Amino acid sequence: MRVFVTGASGHIGSAVVPELLRAGHQVVGLARSDRSAAALEAAGAEVHRGDLDDLDGLREAAAGADGVIHLAFKPLGSTDIMEAVSVDLAAIKVLGAALEGSGKPLVSTSPTLPLSFVGQITDRPATERDSMAGGPRVEAENAVIALADRGVRSSVVRLPPLVHSTLDRHGLGPTLIGIARTKGVSGYVGDGANRWPAVHTLDAAKLYRLALESATAGSRLHAVADPGIPFRQIAEAIGEKLAIPTASIAPDDAAEHFAHVAPFVALDNPVSSELTRDWLGWQPTHPALIEDLNQDHYFERQVG
């Protein structure tokens, strides 16, 4: 299968591309820079130069492919969140239109954190059958699912807040470590009992491949290995590796301590992946989050 991949040289993409190539697929990766293009060529992929703002280029690349995996999301350092959300939705609409009526797969990406509100209502882990009517990133997810009624074998992989591995350079894991290093304390909000799911990057990459190859049209999939780790346990693992105290941060002080990630750190986000495992035979095999944090790779470099 000839697969067009956006975000192909990013954190997740740098695992998805080799996963696809090993399975015998051809990969055409979207590259914004010479550096990204060189990385894709070195991996054995073809390069399509452009970015998410180049809608004509996205349309052309998708139309020439047998399937699309959409991973890219504008870096928040280059724009604000609402602009990034708007660009993402526009890209999805163009990619979907290019595949309409073909029966070809489009696999897109969504976060699990919005499902925290599902848990507040249901008092159980969120499942693949749970959805929301609207909200940032949710409109894009729902637009992808709706493509199933327009002849696209569309699916969405929901990623947990912590996708961890040696490939993770700028995600929430490095961000939390950087904050702890700067503040001299590894913090959690309140009692830290709120739960975050997690998955190893390489396990997530395998799920993207499986979704491309065989996911049912209109399916939501959960790339979740750890269904819900108490945030305090995550903070303690970080504090131990940095040899700094772990402490509770009062809710009123969370914004000062956690800065731009403060709106997320107190969310309770338990997520099940039982249906995903049943539907696609996906089984995570790589280290779980705490085991990965107990290694040195997150702490051998300056992160933030």
In a domain, 301, yes or no: no
For 292-301, the pLDDT digits (tens) are 999 999 998 6
Q: Given a cut of 90, is residue 75 above it in pLDDT?
A: no
| pLDDT (average), residues 148-154 | 98
Q: Assess whether 21 and 101 both reside in one domain.
A: yes
Based on the domain organization, do 133 and 169 belong to the same domain?
no
- pLDDT category of residue 74 using cuts at 50, 70 and 90: confident
Do 112 and 181 fall into the same domain? no
Total of domains in the chain: 2
Pair (158, 259) in one structural domain: no
219 domain residue, yes or no:
yes
Q: Would you state the pLDDT for residue 78?
A: 59
Say if 281 falls within a structural domain. no
Instruction: Look at 116 and 186; give whichever has higher pLDDT.
Output: 186
Residue 53 pLDDT > 70, yes or no? yes
CATH number at 50 reads: 3.40.50.720
Give, in degrees to the nearest 5, the angle at Cα 293 between 257 and 230: 60
Query: Is residue 208, in this structure, part of any structural domain at all?
Result: yes
CA distance linking residue 304 with residue 299, whole number of Å: 11
Q: What is the mean predicted confidence (pLDDT) over 140-167?
A: 97
- Mean pLDDT to the nearest integer, 176-195: 97
Q: Could you tell me if 205 and 191 lie in one domain?
A: no
Same domain? For 125 and 48 the reply is yes
pLDDT higher than threshold 50 for residue 303: no
pLDDT digits (tens, 9 = 90+) for 203-258: 999 999 999 999 999 999 999 999 999 999 999 999 999 999 999 999 999 999 99
Q: How far apart are CA 151 and CA 141, in angstroms?
A: 17
Question: Within this chain, do residues 94 and 137 fall inside the same structural domain, yes or no?
Answer: yes
Using the CB atoms, write b or e for 140-177: b if 16+ within 10 Å.
bbbbbbebbeeebbbbbbbbbbbbbbebbeebbbbbbb
Q: Write out the two tokens for 173.
A: 């894991």
205 shares its domain with 241: no
CA-to-CA dists, residue 172 to 160, 223, 275, angstroms? 10, 16, 26
Residue 42 placed within a domain: yes
Q: Are residues 61 and 209 in the same domain?
A: yes
pLDDT at 137: 87
Q: Domain residues for 132?
A: 2-162+200-226
Burial 53-92 (b: 16+ CB within 10 A, else e): ebbebbebbbeebebbbbbbbbeeeeeeeeebbbbbbebb
Do both 214 and 67 map to the same domain?
yes
